[in-house]
Amino acid sequence: MPIERFVWTDHALQRLAQRGLTGDEVERAITRGHDTRKPNRGAGDWRVYGQRADRRRFVVIYDQPAGRDQRAARVVAVWAIR
């Protein structure tokens, strides 16, 4: 089932600004990487990697499904890879 909706935690929204990422970049990374996602051991069920237009990579931690909504992903955290 495709992801159609994104729910953002306050923590993830704060990290966007701090890391210089956009919501579109993060949502695109989840959508593109969902089929090859990796389990995450901490807060959040899944981990995917994205790449910005300038080729810098970043990590997204998310839950899917978000609660009972199979079509939603809950973005938990994002950070840039150095």
Structure confidence by residue, pLDDT tens digits, 29-38: 999 999 999 9
pLDDT at 82: 83
Domains and CATH numbers, the chain: 5-80 (3.30.2310)
Instruction: Give which of 17, 75, 81, 37 is closest to 55, Cα–Cα.
Output: 81
Residue 53 above 80 pLDDT? yes
Over residues 64-77, mean pLDDT: 96
User: Tokens 């810098």 belong to which residue?
Assistant: 56
Over residues 27-49, mean pLDDT: 96
Inter-residue contact 73 to 3 (CB < 8 Å): yes
pLDDT at 60: 98
